[in-house]
Structure 1
Amino acid sequence: MPKLWNETIEEHRGAVQEAILDTAATLVAKHGMLSVTMSQIAQEAGIGRATLYKYFPNVESILRAQHDRQLAGHLEHLAAVTHSGGDAGHQLEAVLHIHAAMTYEHHGSPMAAIMHHEGARQTQLEFVSGVIRRAAETGAIRDDVAPGELASFCLHALAAAAESPSKAAVGRLVQLTLDSLRLRS
């Protein structure tokens, strides 16, 4: 059992929540999403069931929180790319490559099977829309279609990376997506 006490109540609660999410992810990877129970999570996390229920009402809410945590990490990584410099066109290209690679690499993982609820999809859409808007403003890509529409197109197109046979195929998918965003001469 992990020792979860920290210096403040807030830190303790955060540590307990992280332990719950980490435990749930481990159990899902080991046993599958449908076989994980609240009792298993509590036991493996080293907390009582009553404590677990203070944090989450059911397994689905834990898995959703785990998914949101993964999405936040993914978006932080992408945001770091956009803040690392370079022109907006290159930033867009890097973001699309990273997104497609992550889709490809995690397509078979148990956590990838968790539903992509509307809030997560909306967050991704807003992020990619912002990157596309900046690229369009600099003339790197077309500006005759709204950034939100182009972002939706990109996310749907890059979802095909999950079924791609190789990393090379993922690269071609990203290139095709980028080509569709570029201005026609």
Structure 2
Amino acid sequence: MPRITGDSLAEHREQLQRRVFDAFAALMSERSFDAVSMAQIAERAELGRTTIYHHFHDKESVVVAFASHETARYVEELRDTLGATDDPAERLRIYVRHHLDAGERFHMGLGPSLYGVLSPDSRLAIREHVVAVEDVLRDILESGRAAGAFAFEDTAATMSLVHACLSPRHLPPSTIESFVLGAVGAAGSGPAVPAGG
């Protein structure tokens, strides 16, 4: 029987998963998903080749578990930070800053190129975790609009446009933040972009 680390079986599994996730993240920073094998993940995590299969069926299951774990952490940190204020504009600023500061750390390697090689079931499982992040933005936007702090028509379209603005890493965060706040008509952030123009 393998040696148990930690104070309980649950803690042992959590530690083992963390090692696998760290190994997976490190390997994905060095090579493509296709070039990563379960044997390499096990070796980098300092696990036996058979041990990793007791916890993960294949490398797609590693991706899904990694995405689930990282998204849960991301949303927990984001909600904790948002809890400091009720001001809609400040909450949207926090969302933008948090995404720009932590996005690469939390979502490393989970971009379109990886998403495209996963099975439909794995894509769906990861999509469910992305929705958790989208729900936070939806709440910020809709509560801000209800309070009269934001002016926009279509929530889904506005969410897509906000997330599109958060992708370019070559722009200063303050520029992205100002643009997003102006686009939703936040007071003192410039005029909202008119519908259709």
Q: TM-score, normalised by structure 1?
A: 0.76
Q: How far 1:151 sits from its partner (Å)?
A: 5.0
2: CA distance between counterparts of 1:27 and 1:4?
25
The equivalent of 1:124 in structure 2 is: 133
2: CA distance between counterparts of 1:14 and 1:164?
32
Percent of aligned positions that are identical: 19
Unaligned runs of 5+ in 2: 116-122
* Counterpart check, 1:178 vs 2:184: yes
**1:166 match: secondary structure:** coil
Q: TM-score, normalised by structure 2?
A: 0.72
- Cα root mean square deviation, aligned: 3.1
Q: How far 1:99 sits from its partner (Å)?
A: 2.5
Unaligned runs of 5+ in 1: none
In structure 1, give the amino acid aligned to 2:158: F
Whether the 8 Å contact between 1:20 and 1:42 is mirrored in structure 2 is yes
Q: How far 1:100 sits from its partner (Å)?
A: 4.6
CA displacement, residues 13-36 of structure 1 (integer Å, 9 cap, x when unaligned): 111111111111111112332211
In structure 2, give the amino acid aligned to 1:166: L
The equivalent of 1:135 in structure 2 is: 144
**1:61 match: secondary structure:** helix
Of 47-56 and 167-176, more deviation after overlay is shown by: 167-176
**2:166 match: secondary structure:** helix
Q: How far 1:9 sits from its partner (Å)?
A: 0.8
The equivalent of 1:27 in structure 2 is: 27
Cα distance change on mapping 1:97 and 1:86 into 2, 3 Å: same
Listed as ranges, the matches of 1:1-185 within 5 Å are 5-100=5-100, 102=102, 109-112=108-111, 113-115=113-115, 117-142=126-151, 145=153, 149-163=154-168, 165-167=170-172, 169-179=175-185
How many residues are aligned here?
Answer: 176
In structure 2, give the amino acid aligned to 1:93: R
